[in-house]
């Protein structure tokens, strides 16, 4: 029997699939990933139902939903479930060398034999962030080392480029923008600066004019996000070239995925990834492995993060007794099923604590406590007629709200019984880290005055703070 295939999992933080050219975006943001994707299979409707980072990667790397991982928050409170066995652990048990780059210490990335870090946040001397170059400086030598070993390897890379601060290096900073970002007649950034919880953070990294003027055009900021994606795409091409140069490209299962999407100028959630609108739930999924995964295939069937690990177990012929909440995507590839789960539970607990239920037509969002955006406690969107989720029809459709709430609550009861634990959305008191306000916010005004992020260093600390 020959050597088992290697696994390279490229996890890209905050990457919205709809801003990738291979997913139909009008800007050519990902030409190298596009070319690579055409050699594999693109999954068009992959969802991250539990946002943001820790629960997102937790589900991706265990094959479990949020009940199976017992994790729903970035600053997770409670024990990450022991029965949520990690992909790294399973691969290690199957004789693999395993390395994680850029996710040290997080419960979602447990089980690796080797952890490495890279500078994934701040700008360089030129005022621009060289995140992906820093990633390559760390991961390319490690890839060479792993390739020389007798054992197959699992290399997990956590890319940070699409995550704020959006500061792509030249020429990517102007690739998609040739206007005047300081135009005094453009007031589209004013609502962003008026949102006190985030305003100081944005001002800490958004460039200013020589006279100190602030950026006024939201389209400039969106172009910086797209430029960061394009910059990262170019750097990832070097990883593909290294696999080819080492002669292991076709012997390696390569997966491109994201922990969650990104909210740009949508829903007044301003350049972040909180809220459970589809811009946050939509993520890319691309798998290339010529021996078993068809080239040029696009799969429209619904799937979620929890389905990735069982897929890899099947693809790589791994031995494990782990029971997954997800299913293998190869059922979709072979045409045995059109979709996996078409309706599912969705959660967010980082800047707001909300949960909901998504079907192909409807999106129900229920607040478990008041949020700092002063949004209504119940939101309902008809995704067929309002895919951008702009028109809340909860008041007009009370019957639909009741039906979806009943389905959600029945699912919660079922999963609580199966796991023997309370829904982790109900066990996140003081999830925001402000014990002085009590276990939960009592008003949106209280939440607005309490929640605050100051600068990029504080953002990095929030990402790195482990519970």
For residues 112-141, give the mean pLDDT: 91
Residue pair 189/270 in contact (Cβ under 8 Å)? The answer is no
For residues 439-454, give the mean pLDDT: 94
Q: How confident is the model at residue 107 (pLDDT cuts 50, 70, 90)?
A: confident
For residues 330-342, give the mean pLDDT: 97
Q: How confident is the model at residue 442 (pLDDT cuts 50, 70, 90)?
A: very high
For the record, the structure tokens of 124 come out as 């360089």
Cα gap 436→459, rounded to integer Å: 21
- Residue 244: is its pLDDT beyond 90? yes
Phi then psi for residue 214, to 5 deg, are -90, 155
For residues 349-356, give the mean pLDDT: 95
- Residue 419: is its pLDDT beyond 90? yes
- Residue 1: is its pLDDT beyond 50? no
- The secondary structure element, H or E, covering residue 155 is strand 153-159
For residues 273-283, give the mean pLDDT: 96
Pairing of strands 97-101, 153-159: parallel
pLDDT at 257: 98
Burial of 47 (0-12, 13-18, 19+ CB in 10 A): buried
pLDDT in tens, 13-34: 999 999 999 999 999 999 999 9
pTM score of the predicted model: 0.95
Q: Which of 324, 368, 273 is nearest to 69 (CA)?
A: 324
Alpha helices in 177-306 (DSSP H): 190-194, 196-205, 218-245, 278-281
For residues 219-247, give the mean pLDDT: 98
Q: How confident is the model at residue 456 (pLDDT cuts 50, 70, 90)?
A: low
For residues 370-390, give the mean pLDDT: 98
pLDDT at 74: 82
Q: Which of 365, 360, 404 is nearest to 383 (CA)?
A: 360
For residues 268-295, give the mean pLDDT: 96
pLDDT at 315: 97
Please report the domains of the chain, with CATH numbers, ordered by start residue.
Answer: 6-181+215-342 (3.40.720.10), 346-462 (3.30.1120.10)
pLDDT at 461: 59
For the record, the structure tokens of 343 come out as 């309706």
Cα gap 52→74, rounded to integer Å: 6
Residue pair 69/81 in contact (Cβ under 8 Å)? The answer is yes
- Residue 467: is its pLDDT beyond 70? no
pLDDT at 462: 57
Residue pair 392/380 in contact (Cβ under 8 Å)? The answer is yes
For the record, the structure tokens of 462 come out as 């929030």
For residues 64-82, give the mean pLDDT: 90
């Amino acid at each position: 029997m020959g050597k088992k295939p290697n696994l390279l999992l490229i996890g890209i933080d905050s990457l919205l699939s709809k801003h990738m050219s291979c997913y139909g975006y009008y800007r050519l943001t990902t030409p190298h990933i596009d070319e690579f994707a055409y050699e594999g299979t693109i999954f068009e409707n992959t969802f991250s139902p539990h946002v943001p980072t820790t629960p997102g990667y937790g589900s991706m790397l265990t094959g479990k939903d949020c009940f199976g991982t017992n994790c729903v928050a970035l600053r997770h409170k409670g024990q990450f479930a022991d029965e949520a066995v990690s992909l790294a652990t399973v691969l290690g048990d199957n004789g693999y060398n395993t390395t994680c780059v850029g996710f040290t210490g997080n419960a979602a990335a447990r089980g690796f034999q080797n952890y490495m870090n890279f500078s994934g946040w701040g700008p360089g001397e030129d005022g621009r962030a060289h995140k992906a170059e820093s990633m390559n400086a760390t991961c390319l030598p490690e890839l060479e080392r792993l390739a020389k070993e007798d054992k197959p390897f699992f290399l997990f890379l956590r890319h940070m480029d699409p995550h704020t601060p959006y500061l792509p290096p030249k020429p990517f900073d102007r690739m998609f923008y040739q206007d005047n970002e300081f135009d005094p007649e453009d007031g589209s950034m004013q609502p962003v600066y008026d949102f006190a919880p985030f305003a100081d953070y944005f001002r800490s990294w958004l460039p200013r004019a020589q006279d100190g003027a602030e950026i006024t055009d939201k389209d400039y900021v969106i172009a910086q996000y797209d430029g960061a994606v394009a910059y990262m795409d170019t750097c990832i091409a070097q990883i593909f070239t290294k696999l080819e140069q080492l002669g292991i490209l076709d012997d390696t299962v390569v997966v491109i995925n994201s922990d969650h999407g990104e909210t740009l100028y949508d829903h007044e959630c301003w350049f972040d990834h909180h809220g459970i609108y589809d811009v946050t739930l939509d993520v890319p999924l691309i798998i290339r492995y010529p021996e078993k995964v068809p080239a040029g295939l696009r799969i429209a069937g619904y799937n979620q993060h929890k389905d990735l690990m069982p897929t890899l177990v099947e693809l790589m012929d791994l031995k494990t007794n782990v029971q997954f909440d997800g299913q293998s995507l190869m059922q979709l590839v072979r045409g045995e099923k059109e979709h996996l789960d078409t309706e599912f539970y969705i959660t967010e607990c980082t800047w707001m604590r909300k949960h909901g239920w998504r079907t192909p037509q409807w999106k129900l969002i229920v607040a478990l406590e008041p949020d700092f955006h002063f949004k209504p406690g119940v939101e309902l969107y008809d995704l067929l007629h309002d895919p951008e989720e702009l028109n809340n029809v909860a008041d007009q459709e009370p019957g639909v709200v009741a039906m979806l709430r009943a389905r959600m609550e029945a699912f919660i009861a079922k999963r609580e019984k199966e796991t023997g634990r309370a829904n982790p959305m109900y066990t996140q008191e003081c999830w925001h880290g402000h014990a002085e306000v009590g276990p939960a916010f009592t008003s949106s005004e209280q939440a607005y005055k309490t929640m605050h992020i100051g600068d990029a260093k504080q953002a990095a600390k929030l990402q790195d703070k482990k519970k």
